[in-house]
Amino acid sequence: NAEFAIFFKPHAKWRKGVTKTRIEEEVLARLKTIPGVTFNVSQYIEDNVEEAVSGVKGQNSVKIYGPDPVELEKLGHQTMGILGSIPGFHDLGLFRIRGGMELDIRVDPLACARYGIHVADVEGVIQAAVGGVAVTQVLKNEKRFDVTVRLARPYRKDIEAIRSIPVDSPDGSHIPLSQLAKIQLRIGNSYIFREANSRYLPVKFSIRGRDIGSAVDQAKREISSRLPLPPGYRIRWYGEYKEMKAAQRRLSLLLPIAVGLIFLLLYWAYRSIKYALVQILSVPVAITGGVWALLLTGHHLSISASLGFLSLFGIAIQDGMILINFVTNLRREGLSMREALVQGGNLRVRPVLMTALLAGFGLLPAALSTGIGNQAQKPLAIVIVGGVLTTIVFTLLVLPVVYSMTGRLPLLDSSGDPSGVREKHPSSA
């Protein structure tokens, strides 16, 4: 594992049309020509956060849990092959847990019994010959150091020399170690990853060109149908996908609460259920504008975009209240529905535009930004800018029509007035 830090020039000095995403794609395309090495592009802080979240240096990861390292690596290769066949998956990498060569010596109890040698004596010879045995200690400057004795290097330099190590038998003969134990070189574990009291093997990946939710959901279905897991093995998904799912669960709880609180505040302001319902129509219209803005700019729904929608709800409701509250007050002063709407529209078009465009123009630089780190704020800004545009159109053109239609609805407000507004009529002399 090696990391290289590359520092970009200021964005003003970049060639026209060059973006960070394009640079990353060109770099990865050239690095793919190097055989046997996988590369991943990230940023310093992003890389540290991702590793802290999932324990793996990657945007997302799938962890396969199980007891056998050989089976884990087999399942890891199969998983990486399945992910590579799904559109949108990039930067695939398998964290290999096997590959280190190790000397495996297994003492044969039956062979030891034929020569009358205890298994513990054979193990002692192996330890003394290869690993060494501490026979005494030396004292130097109040520190103690073990003195270890073992065979000289020529007698343990390779597997053939180790096979020839003599073991004393009770009758005084010397038995080669190869006749008492099975000795071989084999591939062992180079790393041991453990989590939740279980071994695991991670496979990292990134998602580009589509949203993380649909990509990982498709990967789950593909792996479930094409990769049957042996008993005792399981798969878990980590990284941005896991954090996104947790945030979506929180938002699924907060969103209805937010809409409910908005409705209660509207009812408290208008003292009328029907006008509160008219005003709440601004919310789905604002959502429509935010969704279209994401589609047109090629962005996907993310946590940042979801927070943008929550902010957009407040802007849409505030815009509508500026107009509806003013029209309602005019009607209470005795104006007819048509007169109140015409006068309210003329006098409140500027406040409506100023309120909405203030948020839209304020976030426009963030929506158009191309600098490093814009992925955190750009979706939020795009949602608000797109939603503000549809909110303006709805508030100035559609909301007055819907408001006038509600004057005919027999819905009672808290005061019992079927229209929600008490119009003044001149009394007869």
Phi and psi at 117, nearest 5°, equal: -110, 135
Q: Over 90: is that where the pLDDT of 5 sits?
A: no
Half-sphere exposure of 154 (CA within 13 A, CB side): 0
Q: By three-state DSSP, how is residue 202 classified?
A: strand
CB neighbour list of residue 181: distance below 8 Å, 6 or more residues apart: 105, 106, 107, 108, 111, 122, 126
Would you place residue 75 in the very low, low, confident or very high pLDDT band (cuts 50, 70, 90)?
A: very high
Residue 417's pLDDT is: 45
Would you place residue 134 in the very low, low, confident or very high pLDDT band (cuts 50, 70, 90)?
A: confident
Residue 82's pLDDT is: 93
In tens, the pLDDT along 326-352 reads: 888 888 888 888 888 888 888 888 888
Q: How far separated are the first and last CA of the chain, in Å rounded?
A: 96
The average pLDDT across 82-93 equals 88
The C-alpha angle with vertex 16 and arms to 13 and 19, in degrees rounded to 5, equals 85
Would you place residue 372 in the very low, low, confident or very high pLDDT band (cuts 50, 70, 90)?
A: low
Looking at the DSSP assignment, which residues form a beta bridge with residue 136? Answer: 147
Give the sign of the dihedral formed by CA 204, CA 210, CA 216, CA 220: negative
Nearest to 322 by CA among 295, 344, 290: 344
* Of the listed ranges 113-122, 372-381, 386-395, the one predicted with least confidence: 372-381
Residue 373's pLDDT is: 61
Q: CA of 307: how far to CAs of 85, 250, 262, 268, 281, in Å?
A: 33, 12, 16, 26, 19
Residue 222's pLDDT is: 92
Residue 422's pLDDT is: 46
Looking at the DSSP assignment, which residues form a beta bridge with residue 94? Answer: 203
Q: Cβ(155)–Cβ(165) under 8 Å?
A: yes
Q: Over 90: is that where the pLDDT of 363 sits?
A: no
Please count the other Cβ atoms lying within 10 Å of the Cβ belonging to residue 396: 17
**Could you give all domains of the chain from N- to C-terminal order, each with its CATH number?**
11-97+192-241 (3.30.70.1440), 100-189 (3.30.2090.10), 271-406 (1.20.1640.10)
Q: Cβ(83)–Cβ(89) under 8 Å?
A: yes
- What number of residues does the chain have? 429
Single-letter residue type at 15: R
Residue 409's pLDDT is: 46
Residue 108's pLDDT is: 92
Residue 424's pLDDT is: 44
Distance CA 264, CA 257 (A): 11
Q: CA of 327: how far to CAs of 272, 285, 330, in Å?
A: 14, 21, 5
Residue 233's pLDDT is: 92
CB neighbour list of residue 18: distance below 8 Å, 6 or more residues apart: none
Residue 408's pLDDT is: 55
pLDDT, mean over the chain: 82
Helix axis angle for 303-332 and 337-368, nearest 10°, is 160
In tens, the pLDDT along 31-74 reads: 888 887 777 777 777 777 777 777 777 788 899 999 988 888 88
Distance CA 5, CA 293 (A): 35
371, two tokens: 């600098």
In tens, the pLDDT along 303-328 reads: 788 888 888 888 888 888 888 888 88
The average pLDDT across 223-247 equals 88
Looking at the DSSP assignment, which residues form a beta bridge with residue 198? Answer: 195
In tens, the pLDDT along 255-293 reads: 888 888 888 888 887 787 888 888 888 888 888 988 898
Single-letter residue type at 318: Q
Give rounded-to-5 percent helix, strand, coil for the chain: 55, 15, 30
In tens, the pLDDT along 179-222 reads: 999 988 888 777 778 888 888 888 988 888 788 888 999 999 99
